[in-house]
Structure 1
């Protein structure tokens, strides 16, 4: 459907283009504020949402130009609630080819590459490479002002799948500078000069023959002595030992060790030269900052490529894997009793126990790969059937609270009621029964 819409718009632009004064100027710069809509793929269940954009470009010729782009996609949420407040930013570049550049209506095709970063609850906030292509048109209302419309097909990989989105924009095209069209001078037709009358014929008597001239033989001229010119040594402007004609990095600072191309050595191949690199043994493929050190997004002291819990809250003490130490001690790989109580024969979670349940919710946010169950237990009072049903309802109430408040994927948590089948203390005393009436969290930490 979206590809058909793009093809139909392209045909309409070509048919409607009519010759007029020159529009696109060679050597000009441009600025385009844009706004429109962004359509997510149906599988993403995010619908359409507004988008704001800005383009800055340069026309190498009337037909060929490049642009830098920036887009902001406003918040959207899916119908299931697993994705909330999803927004996006796209930044990159694109090349444009104009058809009929001397017309008032100038259609064009475009293609480019950009970085796409999505943000929001339940979303991977890393940058993703996105390829885009599409069509557009500029309608000039003045020599340097035009209305502009764009439609783009954007494709990118996210997690384990590929997604195809569509962006459509309208805005202004403002043109600065550039060469004015040359005016061809009119050359007048040449006029033939009149033929002059013939000269009168003069009869002159032949002169007497002149005497033979005396032949003078010149003295021989000695051959010049060749002068040997010694060429100057090849220039090495930055004195790095690689001559300028071979030096691919001619501005290297003094004293920096270079390779055969005259460029500073980068031992760990992270894009930061050794003389600037504060972390010279970074593993291959790891994203680094301006100092050549691995990026640590959540500032917990564990680099992203080693961090198993990349969204740790500020100030939380973490282990070598970047995960919260206290949360791991309480909930990882062992049953943990959650200190909450319910009214008699009721399953509603009381507000006074929200802080206790929030500890479990924050743990699941800090350990995004952890899975497990909420287990409900009762004492031996009452029938086994009633106790089993009550314990199941209480476990499901706790599960629902965690999922709704913290946006946790429901597939990570199960709820199970065991009634009075798993006591941890004798049911003969009041204190023993109190211990048996409990909610336990049983989760693994990956």
Structure 2
């Protein structure tokens, strides 16, 4: 069992190291993963199996190693399905050697939040050529190392149908994600018709070829558009114009999950950033006054970061252009403790503006 103990120590070390790098990421319908599994089984005390024609008692306790692969698919925002296959290596009680077998099945998993889930499934577990169909209950914890790589730990119990075995298990897995959620197609670019050339005025004395009110002999800017105002030299006059774009996204109570209804608002701001690549954005997160102040500060930062992640991962904004800041409950938009006031205060806000020099129209 020294080898098995070393494997278990490695499982704990991987989990503790990964926690430092983990981040929370919401996966959406259509995304799927391929993963590797490593764990232990606590076999039923009555579990037996054959080896070279001889029936042996399997060693119980968490002394059975199982390794395998799994494939999972996000059915909805909360429901996930998966199938798996494990190779089983069990010790023999009171004798040297091992009993070999396999376990394969499928689960349906329900996600309570970004990290915690539970599920039910069925499988067939075989040890030493003796198999039983089993019902399996699972609880687990998943965290993301980055947007495409996650790790998880699980524990649970499985109950046999025919042989009445009751067995427990624990395992850890590493999952590589594929696919992108379906995004709404961007609106088509408006068809801008080119400005029709104006007929050249008939020659006259004095001549004003471009019709801007300044005769050619004094006109230093020829062919100015007729709908723009010009100065005494016939050149287009300009003024400063401030262009603004703001964003407001509200959240559910005690949640940092971005609502699907907010995607259009976020995409609008992302489009403005793409049109003005010289601008960067700071997203400000806020909460209502329910709960401890330090928790609300943490939640406001998560809300701002969640919107920033959507801009970067879904709408292609460079991560270096997006920053975020949490203000907790310190900057309410609406005073009061009503449900409507609290909803108004659970939000993120951001505003961008740029000053352009634009022609003065007549």
TM-score, structure 1 as length reference: 0.32
Task: Please tell me whether Structure 1 or Structure 2 has the larger radius of gyration of its CA atoms.
Answer: 1
Structure with greater strand share of residues: 2
